Amino acid sequence: MLPTLFTEEAAPFVALSRLFRHLWFQRIWVVQEVAAAEVVHVMYNGICIEWNTLAQAVREIHSAINLSRQMKYYDDTKTSTIETIGRDPSLDYSYWLNAEIMATIRDQVQNGNPLPLAVLILGTLGFKSKDPRDKLFALLGIASDGADLPLTPSYNESVESVFTNVTSFVLSSESWFMLLASTGRGYEAAGSTRPPDSPLPKDLPSWVPDYTTNDFGGALSRGVRDKMLRSRQAGKVAFTDNPRVIRIEAVAFDSIRLVDSKLKYPTFGFRTPDPELPTGTFTKRMEELLTSTAAEGQNWYLEARQLTRSYSASSRESQEAADQQFWELCMSGNPSFENSDSSPALYPLLSQSARKLFEFFKLTERSHFWQHVGDWSMKEKLSEEEVVKLYTNLEQRFFETTSEKAFCVTSTGSVALAPPLAREGDVLVHVKGDYTPLVLRRKESGERRAELVGSCYVHGVQDLCPGSDWEVWSLE
């Protein structure tokens, strides 16, 4: 259906770019219309397109990384001629993702397997609505548990009340922890999908997400969400007479001793170029990338590694042990990477050899990047193409793991990645029935009264905490 090599024939990609960036693909109510309709046709520029054709296109783009990179390369957002399309690295966002989400939801509904509300909420954060309450109301008719919601959608209810009531309902479902671990006070605003004249939520409890934003829960990786989605453990949240307070059973196992160095890459702005691009194009894109990210990436890596060397438990063993602990933390992102072709036998993901290669390029002068490629190629007897592919994939993994997170050293000497607004003294807890640790901030009003800061990753700490010494915490 789509060309598979970079050529001068940019027109198909330009056309798809214009189509998938149409506002129709951004409206939350369209999700329900597409999912529930028996037959869907899309009229665009005088052409009638069957929905199945669009769905097949986005699936091909998703499954073939070369196609997705071509789509980004030939993006038509800020340009009007084919010759200049795709030259802005800041446009490197998968803008067809909404169409793919709609296709997935429609398939589930049409096959009689609708998704639970929690999954729909997290999957449709990038959609827009004039009224923020519609970000939730528009999903109830296609959610597997939407009919069980103990309230009738009403625009007489305040935004705060709707957000709180729907969140309480989700927290009483099997998908409770997926939503709980995706919110908190520790995240900076990722951009609002709320029109300027729509109601703004004024004061939400820490455990209630602001559904008007494009994203929340930046510290929760896709791998963790997938694991939670596959599980069917019962909910462990208890509700109180105060609708702003919930209770969870948890055990505190550590706290944040030091917190520093939040990576400054834009969340959606950093993507390594495809090594299969024409040589001149790839060189230009790589130089643009390295120039724009060099200072921030180098500073974050050096500062966080030095804190690991100075304060982590592994530093008492040796500097090499501390560096390896830090490297494993930086590579703790999407586990599917380890099974990809980009991590050959000579450079296993968590190995010292992969770390040395990454640091060789990450911490040296970027204006000499191509000279370094040649030097490493001769030293390791690899082709220059293999060297570039290895490094760019490690850089991508580093970005996906560390972007928009704070580096922390805990009181016991572990290293961790936490929400960017985490503070020294915040408590790390395991929640009964959970899948990843949470960060809590104690309130002065009580020993185990706290605000939810967010989810985190602590190196060397298991996902689940065995034992039975659970305590009741109140989250406000």
471 forms beta bridges with: 250
- Summarize pLDDT for 422-468 with one digit per residue, the tens: 999 999 998 887 668 899 999 987 689 999 999 898 998 865 555 56
The residue that leads in pLDDT, 32 or 84, is: 32
Structure tokens at 128: 């827009």
Measure the CA–CA gap between 232 and 208, rounded to whole angstroms: 22
3-state secondary structure of 45: coil
CA dist., res. 259 & res. 421, Å (int): 9
Whole-Å CA distances, 135 to 100, 180, 186, 209: 18, 18, 22, 12
- Please check the confidence at residue 168 and state whether its pLDDT lies above 60: yes
* pLDDT beyond 50 at 120: yes
Take residue 71 and report the two structure tokens written for it: 């789509």
Flag whether pLDDT at 151 surpasses 90.
Answer: no
Q: Which of 172, 177, 173, 153 is nearest to 163 (CA)?
A: 153
- CA torsion, ordered 133, 118, 185, 434, to nearest 10 deg: 160
d(CA 266, CA 186): 17
Instruction: State yes or no: pLDDT of 59 exceeds 80.
Output: yes
DSSP state of 196: T
pLDDT of 39: 92
Residue 413 is predicted with a pLDDT of 94
Q: Is the pLDDT of residue 224 over 70?
A: no
90-103 pLDDT, tens per residue?
A: 334 566 788 999 99
User: Are 362 and 431 in contact, with CB atoms under 8 Å apart?
Assistant: no
3-state DSSP assignment of residue 372: helix
Q: What percent of the chain has pLDDT over 90?
A: 34
| Cα 301–chain centre separation | 20
DSSP letter, residue 385: H
Other C-beta atoms closer than 10 Å to the C-beta of 172 total 18
Q: Is 450 helix (H, G, I), strand (E, B) or coil?
A: strand
User: pLDDT at position 74, please?
Assistant: 67
Instruction: Report CA torsion sign: 147, 151, 155, 160.
Output: negative
Contact yes or no for 114/142 (Cβ under 8 A)? yes
Summarize the confidence of residues 18-30 as an average pLDDT. Answer: 89
- C-alpha distance from residue 265 to each of 306, 357, 392 (Å): 20, 21, 15
Q: H/E element holding 225? A: helix 222-230
247: three-class secondary structure by DSSP: strand
In terms of average pLDDT, the best of 55-59, 268-272, 308-312 is 308-312
Per the rule left: phi > 0, alpha: psi between -120 and 50, beta: everything else, 433 is left
Q: Tell me the angle at which helices 11-20 and 65-73 cross, rounded to the nearest 10 degrees.
A: 80
Q: Kindly write down the DSSP assignment for every residue of 301-340, as one continuous string.
A: HHHHHHHHHHHSGGGGT-HHHHHHHHHHHHT-S-GGGGGS
**Amino acid letter for position 1:** M
Q: Name the burial class of residue 391, with classes exposed (0-12), middle (13-18) and buried (19+) by CB atoms within 10 angstroms of its CB.
A: buried
Query: To the nearest whole number, what is the mean pLDDT of the chain?
Result: 79
Q: What ranges do the domains of the chain cover?
A: 1-113, 264-403
Residue 134: Cβ within 10 Å count: 20
**CA 166 remoteness from chain centre:** 23
List, in sequence order, every residue forming a beta bridge with 238; answer none if it has no partner. Answer: 247
Q: Could you tell me the CA-to-CA distances from 434 to 233, 429, 430 in Å, in that order? A: 9, 10, 7
Least trusted range by pLDDT, from 118-132, 254-268, 412-426: 254-268
Tell if the pTM clears 0.85, that is, is over it.
Answer: no
User: Running DSSP on this structure, what letter comes out for residue 80?
Assistant: S
pLDDT at 87 > cutoff 70: no
